[in-house]
Homo-oligomer: A and B are copies of this chain.
């Protein structure tokens, strides 16, 4: 069993990007819009700023109170769309209830939508055209590439059909780069255990702590754990610990490869965002 070390891969990819950015005349610029004072959102945006700094991107955070109106927020997005200094930007979710997240996503110029949430980018990804791919599935693709995991013809089972992880993941894996046979499972799936146990590559992205047990995993399978749930713990100083969707201790011995939580998929998501920002600055997807 080999542990997939997301921290190592993330560091390697960031180093590579930093080298590329070092010789760029104009540094890529990523802006984050942060509405309100949600603790988790603050943390995520902080991590993104830190990554920008490490790689040599310019970055900025635009902060708004959670009383901002939808129209005012859409106007701010319009400004970023029009600002030639900004290569890409994100609006940190979730947003206050009075603002439509979908409207906000669709207001972002697809050429600057480095989160890959806009229908144009989703559609282009599905059609196999160049596109910004959302961070978690793209991060998992990078892990498969880095470890040169054989995927062609293999049966990949993705559990969870969310728009930002499970569904794009199944589509990417069944496309020509990876050539997997992809099965997308969800809360309504019958015989879920049996289907998981038939997977050569199992991607758990349902958000239920330790849901995947050893009997659901085929010997020699590759297991990618996207889950991250905070649970109380009396064994840690801060009183909580993070669990994945996979019961790691019993599943790991059966696998050929497995991602730990934390330190597996998690560190890759920010790297994907950085990769998209670099692509935006270079005009790789939509031209200059």
Contacts and interface: CB of A to CB of B under 8 A. Distances in A.
Interface stretch (A24-32, A124-132, A223-231): A124-132
Interface stretch (A80-88, A167-175, A236-244, A253-261): A167-175
A263 to B, nearest CB: 30
Contact of A119 (B120, B152, B182): B120
A163 B128 contact: yes
A190 interface: yes
Interface string A85-100: 0000000000000000
Contacts of A152: 188
Interface in A131-177: 152-155, 161, 163, 167, 170-171, 174-175
A102 B128 CA distance: 12
Interface in A172-188: 174-175, 179, 181-186, 188
Contacts of A268: none
A153 B189 contact: yes
A152 B186 CA distance: 11
Of A155, A174, A185, which is in contact with the most chain B CB atoms at under 10 Å from its CB?
A174
Contact of A174 (B123, B129, B186): B186
A105 to B, nearest CB: 9
Nearest to A173: B184
Contacts of A119: 119-120, 123-124, 126-127, 129
A204 interface: no
Of A129, A181, A185, which is in contact with the most chain B CB atoms at under 10 Å from its CB?
A181
A281 interface: no
Nearest to A168: B126
Interface of A: 102, 118-124, 126-129, 152-155, 161, 163, 167, 170-171, 174-175, 179, 181-186, 188-191, 195
10 contacts: A102-B129, A122-B123, A122-B126, A123-B126, A126-B126, A167-B171, A179-B188, A181-B185, A182-B183, A182-B184
Q: Which 4 pairs from chain A and chain B are nearest by CB?
A: A123-B123, A119-B123, A122-B123, A153-B190
